[in-house]
């Protein structure tokens, strides 16, 4: 156990590392072949990590998990395969951020993301938000599960993250 974090935080760190193993396997599969069903599984697993982060007080990590959940959930419902593939590429960035945050957290450094280019990530997220907005206004490419609040939801989440 790392002496610089509390036992409760160490418990979260251990749980997070276990969940990350599952998420890494899914991301590895998505790297080989983009699959909407795998995105649904990722969405469920990242939500599990988000809940653990909330319970441990790791708010920044929880918010980034929420972002990954949003991306994977909405991408899994898309009919437009190109948009799904683009969403997955951005999901890789967000997943990397979470892994870095948890590594810093387990190392007793807190929830840091300073070493990551957040500005570039924010640009990609804003671009994705625009693409989801285009889909929202184009019923032939979205499913009934997509609604007009998608873009507003993503924009609010990005605002919460300071992006």
**Domain membership flag for residue 1:** no
Q: What is the pLDDT of residue 1?
A: 45
> Tell me, what CATH number does 98's domain have?
1.20.120
**Domain membership flag for residue 121:** yes
Q: What is the pLDDT of residue 141?
A: 46
pLDDT string in tens for the chain (163-residue length): 445 667 767 788 889 989 999 999 999 999 999 989 999 999 999 999 999 989 888 888 888 898 889 889 888 988 888 888 888 888 888 888 888 888 887 777 777 666 566 667 777 777 776 766 665 545 554 444 445 455 566 666 666 666 5
**Domain membership flag for residue 97:** yes
Q: What is the pLDDT of residue 83?
A: 83
CB of 141 closer than 8 Å to CB of 80: yes
pLDDT tens-digit readout, 134-160? 655 455 544 444 454 555 666 666 666
**Domain membership flag for residue 2:** no
Residue 39 lies in domain: 7-160
Q: What is the pLDDT of residue 45?
A: 95
**Domain membership flag for residue 51:** yes
- Give pTM, 2 decimals: 0.76
Q: Which residues, including other chains, have CB under 8 Å from residue 134's CB and lie 6 or more apart?
A: none
Mapping DSSP onto H, E and C, the string for the chain reads CCCCCCHHHHHHHHHHHHHHHHHHHHHHHHHHCCCHHHHHHHHHHHHHHHHHHHHHCCHHHHHHHHHHHHHHHHHHCCCCHHHHHHHHHHHHHHHHHHHHHHHHHHCCCCCCCCCCCHHHHHHHHHHHHHHHHHHHCCCCCCCCCCCCCHHHHHHHHHHHCCC
**Domain membership flag for residue 55:** yes
Number of domains in the chain: 1
**Domain membership flag for residue 138:** yes
**Domain membership flag for residue 133:** yes
């Amino acid at each position: 156990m790392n002496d610089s974090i509390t036992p409760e935080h160490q418990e979260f760190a251990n749980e997070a590392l276990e969940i990350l193993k599952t998420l890494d396997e899914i991301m590895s599969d998505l790297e080989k072949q983009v699959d909407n069903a795998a995105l649904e599984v990722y969405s469920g697993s990242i939500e599990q990590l988000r809940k653990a982060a909330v319970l441990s007080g790791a708010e920044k990590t929880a918010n980034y998990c929420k972002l990954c959940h949003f991306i994977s959930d909405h991408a899994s419902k898309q009919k437009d395969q190109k948009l799904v593939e683009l969403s997955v590429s951005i999901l890789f960035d967000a997943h990397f951020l979470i892994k870095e945050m948890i590594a810093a957290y387990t190392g007793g450094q807190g929830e840091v993301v300073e070493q990551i280019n957040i500005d570039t990530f924010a640009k990609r997220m804003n671009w994705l938000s625009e693409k989801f907005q285009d889909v929202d206004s184009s019923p032939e490419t979205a499913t009934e599960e997509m609604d007009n609040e998608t873009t507003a939801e993503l924009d609010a989440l990005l605002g919460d993250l300071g992006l």
